């Protein structure tokens, strides 16, 4: 198998409108491509497509907020494709392959680069700069690499081995990682800058904000990030029996769920927001509620009440009347007339994060009046041109995948700077056109298919420990789910120089995609990439973005080989729809040569004739059932094509029964066996008639 870093047609895709899923992804990964590869059981190639743009892809496959799914055009039919879960499946299936591919990349450039912080942005920049041949060293103050990924994300969401595999890929390239090394303590920032040709600050947001309310000082009050750091080190922070978390974001939710896993049962969360305003992801809020954690919405913290011994009794709160002013700015208004006392003996504050930039003291790098880095977002440069910044330290809180995108930009910026080239011209981003929503007439022609469900541990089981609670797809489920993808953007393209305007594509397309005047044009928002038109076009004027129209023809000579003229059993080429074949071992006799196809719609007349030209004695197609096929009303068109080829065989002196079709039904293995048996008995070897086609 040839392993590619980009999928078929990737160059053409860059010139065409993006599918909404790809446009929504901060790194614009070729989602459609790797899902199509999963559908064909080509998991290692799917891994290469994913990993080529995302060096922490395994991590993102379990923690990403998946904006791609929220943009999926399938939402208008039933449910979006489970893109994140499919990514996770591909990364898990390719684990041995990825480890075997780790290689040291030669350092071909003299410049040395220092990166402060090993979070998603810093890791991404290091990966990309190592690929370019630079000497890269990451300085991480924690004793494990990963930054906030390892210190703030609980292991039930991100198992450490998953993160380790991502980091090991990067380190294998020659990136040096110095953990437990804090700039400002173990080395001054100025010395670091003097010893390197460029420095990237990717320090993240490693400190928790606290509250300024009466009673905040004293025992029983914890900050979110130190608490989560203890969890990451398998330490149990001191907690009372009644724990209250202040905050409404993802960090607050993580804290609450960790407390639950430590055995506490009386856990409440208090936040300024109403349920529909909470910044935490909805699915996490739902899971938090399932685990028995209670919410107090629209409550502002007024004071922490303590007893005479200084121990916490609870939190005094007031009602939030409004959260934003008329200009949409955060400006809470409270109603003192509606107080609420919430009993607690431990309070954990999770209201936001900030950067620790103390290491920049006495350096020429400027901070603004709020203590934040001053930087140029168009070049990633700070006030010192060789000092760059990326990730949350400059963007503020953001999901890991957005930090990856920012790290990629920073890596490019540093490369341009070190090469003495203009940075902004390379980093300038123009909004990419994207495919429009599915037209109503097309939606009506697409069969609904239920999304494959992900199994999760029951709440009463998952709260007993920190094991990963999502159980990923098995192979059957993953292939079924991947086949729900409509391959948006991977459809038909017309070569205007070859098109004769014959209307063949217009007649055969089920979706009204072709518009034919003097020549045909394909409406990209309508095309479903079924391939019927490309297989039928008499002038070969139609190609497909997502796959090679001539792929089957190119494979045929190698698959069939040189037939033995004295063979006793017929050589039979078996075309199997991969809806069934893609996830099961096909145990067939040696005279049966299987060719797995995405859909029978992509098997053309020339493909079938090529089998006979290469020496096959017969061929048959196992069609997917109408009730599972992603394309409506395809089977009659494919059967008509098969019948046409049967007549062509008769015209050249071969029996038409050498070509047959079978329908898989609900028990495809039985049909495979039946087809193999019937065809092996019915078809006789052709002997020396190889060149008769």
Question: To the nearest whole number, what is the mean pLDDT of the chain?
Answer: 93
Answer yes or no: is 432 within a domain. Answer: no
DSSP-derived 3-state class of residue 201: strand
Angle between helices 551-560 and 605-613 (to 10 degrees): 20
Predicted TM-score (pTM) of this structure: 0.92
* 216 and 344, same domain (yes or no): yes
* 569 and 675, same domain (yes or no): yes
Give the count of domains, the chain.
4
Q: What is the pLDDT of residue 654?
A: 95
* 504 and 622, same domain (yes or no): no
CATH of the domain at 515: 3.30.70.20
Report CA Rg, the chain.
30
Question: Over the stretch 513-552, which tens digit does the pLDDT of each residue have?
Answer: 999 999 999 999 999 999 999 999 999 999 999 999 999 9
Contact by Cβ (8 Å): 183, 116: yes
* 234 and 334, same domain (yes or no): yes
pLDDT at 609 over 50: yes
* Parallel, antiparallel or unpaired: strands 375-376 and 221-223: unpaired
The distance of Cα 279 from the centroid of its chain, to the nearest Å, equals 22
Contact by Cβ (8 Å): 417, 423: yes
Q: Which DSSP state fits 634?
A: -
Per the DSSP assignment, residues forming a β-bridge with 223 are 349
Which of the four pLDDT bands, split at 50, 70 and 90, describes residue 579? low
* 590 and 531, same domain (yes or no): no
Contact by Cβ (8 Å): 619, 676: no
* 275 and 312, same domain (yes or no): yes
Q: Which two tokens stand for residue 38?
A: 């999963």
Q: What is the pLDDT of residue 12?
A: 84
DSSP-derived 3-state class of residue 376: strand
Least confident of 122-131, 145-154, 299-308, 592-601: 592-601
Answer yes or no: is 672 within a domain. Answer: yes
* 80 and 136, same domain (yes or no): yes
What residues have CB less than 8 Å from 520, skipping those under 6 apart?
A: 494, 499, 501, 505, 506, 514, 541, 542
The Cα 229–Cα 447 span in angstroms is 48
Answer yes or no: is 394 within a domain. Answer: yes
Q: Check the CA dihedral 107-108-112-118 and report its sign.
A: negative
Contact by Cβ (8 Å): 625, 663: yes
Please indicate whether residue 632 or residue 559 has the higher confidence score (pLDDT).
559
β strands within 95-239, DSSP E: 112-116, 135-140, 176-179, 198-201, 207-208, 221-223
Contact by Cβ (8 Å): 527, 584: no
Answer yes or no: is 441 within a domain. Answer: no
Question: Over the stretch 211-264, which tens digit does the pLDDT of each residue have?
Answer: 999 999 999 999 999 999 999 999 999 999 999 999 999 999 999 999 999 999
The Cα 155–Cα 146 span in angstroms is 13
Question: Over the stretch 191-213, which tens digit does the pLDDT of each residue have?
Answer: 999 999 999 999 999 999 999 99
CATH of the domain at 143: 3.50.50.60
Measured CA distances, 180 to 213, 343, 638 (Å): 34, 39, 64
Which of the four pLDDT bands, split at 50, 70 and 90, describes residue 1? very low
Question: Over the stretch 325-361, which tens digit does the pLDDT of each residue have?
Answer: 999 899 999 999 999 999 999 999 999 999 999 999 9
The Cα 533–Cα 503 span in angstroms is 10
Measure the CA angle with vertex 160, ends 155 and 162; round to 5°.
115
The Cα 680–Cα 689 span in angstroms is 18
Answer yes or no: is 245 within a domain. Answer: yes
* 164 and 257, same domain (yes or no): no
Q: Which two tokens stand for residue 60?
A: 């993102």
Q: What is the pLDDT of residue 355?
A: 95
Answer yes or no: is 4 within a domain. Answer: no
Q: What is the pLDDT of residue 691?
A: 45
Answer yes or no: is 390 within a domain. Answer: yes
Helix (H) or strand (E) holding 54: none
Contact by Cβ (8 Å): 128, 200: no
- Span between the terminal Cα atoms of the chain, in Å: 30
User: SS3 string of 654-692?
Assistant: CCHHHEEEEECCCCHHHHHHHHHHHHHHHCCCCCCCHHH
Which of the four pLDDT bands, split at 50, 70 and 90, describes residue 3? very low
Q: Which two tokens stand for residue 653?
A: 């002196």
The Cα 117–Cα 138 span in angstroms is 7
Residue at which a domain ends, from 295, 328, 353? 353
Q: What is the pLDDT of residue 366?
A: 96
Q: Domain of 531?
A: 492-544
Q: Which DSSP state fits 379?
A: T
* 348 and 364, same domain (yes or no): no
Q: What is the pLDDT of residue 623?
A: 85
* 222 and 158, same domain (yes or no): no
Phi/psi of residue 455, nearest 5 degrees: -80, 135
Q: Which two tokens stand for residue 190?
A: 């100025």
Residue at which a domain ends, from 379, 411, 427? 427
Stretch 361-368: mean pLDDT: 95
* 602 and 676, same domain (yes or no): yes
Stretch 599-615: mean pLDDT: 94
DSSP-derived 3-state class of residue 178: strand
Q: Check the CA dihedral 212-216-218-220 and report its sign.
A: negative
Answer yes or no: is 601 within a domain. Answer: yes
CATH of the domain at 630: 3.40.50
Residue at which a domain ends, from 405, 427, 449? 427
The Cα 90–Cα 301 span in angstroms is 45
Question: Over the stretch 137-195, which tens digit does the pLDDT of each residue have?
Answer: 999 999 999 999 999 999 999 999 999 999 999 999 999 999 999 999 999 999 999 99
* Parallel, antiparallel or unpaired: strands 330-343 and 312-324: antiparallel
pLDDT at 7 over 90: no
* 616 and 532, same domain (yes or no): no
Question: Over the stretch 389-435, which tens digit does the pLDDT of each residue have?
Answer: 999 999 999 999 999 999 999 999 999 999 999 999 899 887 788 99
The Cα 536–Cα 518 span in angstroms is 19
Question: Over the stretch 622-680, which tens digit does the pLDDT of each residue have?
Answer: 887 777 778 877 888 899 999 999 999 999 999 999 999 998 877 777 888 889 999 99
């Amino acid at each position: 198998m040839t392993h590619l870093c980009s999928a078929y047609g990737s160059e053409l895709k860059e010139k065409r409108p993006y599918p909404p899923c790809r446009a929504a992804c901060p790194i614009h990964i070729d989602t459609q491509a790797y899902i199509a590869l999963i559908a064909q059981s080509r998991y290692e190639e799917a891994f290469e497509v994913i990993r080529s743009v995302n060096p922490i892809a395994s991590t993102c496959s379990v923690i990403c907020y998946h904006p791609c799914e929220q943009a999926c055009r399938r939402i208008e039919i039933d449910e979006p494709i489970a893109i994140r879960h499919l990514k996770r499946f591909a990364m898990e299936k390719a684990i041995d392959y990825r480890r075997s591919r780790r290689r040291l990349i030669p350092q071909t450039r003299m410049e040395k680069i220092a990166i402060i912080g090993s979070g998603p942005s810093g890791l991404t920049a290091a990966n990309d700069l190592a690929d370019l041949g630079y000497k890269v060293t990451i300085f991480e103050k924690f004793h494990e690499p990963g930054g906030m990924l390892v210190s703030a994300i609980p292991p039930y969401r991100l198992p450490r081995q998953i993160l380790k595999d991502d980091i090991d890929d990067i380190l294998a390239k020659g990136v040096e990682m110095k953990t437990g090394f804090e700039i400002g303590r173990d080395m001054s920032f100025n010395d670091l800058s003097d010893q390197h040709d460029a420095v990237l600050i990717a320090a993240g947001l490693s400190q928790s904000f606290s509250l300024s309310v009466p009673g905040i000082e004293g025992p029983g009050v914890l900050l979110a990030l130190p608490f989560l750091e203890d969890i990451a080190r398998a330490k149990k922070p001191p907690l009372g029996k009644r724990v209250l978390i202040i905050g409404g974001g993802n960090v607050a939710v993580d804290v609450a769920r960790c407390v639950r896993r430590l055995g506490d049962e009386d856990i409440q969360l208090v936040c300024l927001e109403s349920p529909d305003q909470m910044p935490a992801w909805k699915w996490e809020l739902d899971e938090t509620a399932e685990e028995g954690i209670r919410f107090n919405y629209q409550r502002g913290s007024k004071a922490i009440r303590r007893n005479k011994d200084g121990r916490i009794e609870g939190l005094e709160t007031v009602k939030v009347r409004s959260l934003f002013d008329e200009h949409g700015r955060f400006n809470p208004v409270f109603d003192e007339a509606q107080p609420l006392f919430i009993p607690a003996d431990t309070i954990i504050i999770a209201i936001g994060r900030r950067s620790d930039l103390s290491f920049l003291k006495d350096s020429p790098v400027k901070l603004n009046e709020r203590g934040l880095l001053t930087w140029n977002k168009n070049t990633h440069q700070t006030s010192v041109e060789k000092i760059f910044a990326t990730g949350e330290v400059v963007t503020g809180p953001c999901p890991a995948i957005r930090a990856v995108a920012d790290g990629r930009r920073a890596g490019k910026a540093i490369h341009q700077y070190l090469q003495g080239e203009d940075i902004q011209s390379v980093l300038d981003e123009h909004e990419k056109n994207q495919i429009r929503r599915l037209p109503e007439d097309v939606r009506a022609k697409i069969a609904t298919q239920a999304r494959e469900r992900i199994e999760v541990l029951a709440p009463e089981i998952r709260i007993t420990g920190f094991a990963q609670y999502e159980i990923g797809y098995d192979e059957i489920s993953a292939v079924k789910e991947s086949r729900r993808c409509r391959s948006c953007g991977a459809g038909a393209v017309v070569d205007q120089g070859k098109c004769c305007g014959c209307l063949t594509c217009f007649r055969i397309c089920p979706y009204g995609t072709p518009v034919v005047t003097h020549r045909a044009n394909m409406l990209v928002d309508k095309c479903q990439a079924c391939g019927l038109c490309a297989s039928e076009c008499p002038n070969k004027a139609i190609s497909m973005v997502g796959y090679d129209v001539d792929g089957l023809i190119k494979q045929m000579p190698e698959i069939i080989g040189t037939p033995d003229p004295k063979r006793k059993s017929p050589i039979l080429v078996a075309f199997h729809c991969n809806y069934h074949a893609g996830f099961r071992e096909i145990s067939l006799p040696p005279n049966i040569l299987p060719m797995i196809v995405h859909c029978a719609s992509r098997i053309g007349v020339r493909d079938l004739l090529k089998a006979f030209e290469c020496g096959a004695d017969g061929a048959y197609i196992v069609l997917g059932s109408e009730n599972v096929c992603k394309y409506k009303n395809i089977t009659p068109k494919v059967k008509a094509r098969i019948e046409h080829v049967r007549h062509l065989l008769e015209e050249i002196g071969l029996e038409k029964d050498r070509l047959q079709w079978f329908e898989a039904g609900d028990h495809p293995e039985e049909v495979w066996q039946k087809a193999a048996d019937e065809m092996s008995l019915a078809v006789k070897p052709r002997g020396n008639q190889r060149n008769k086609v």
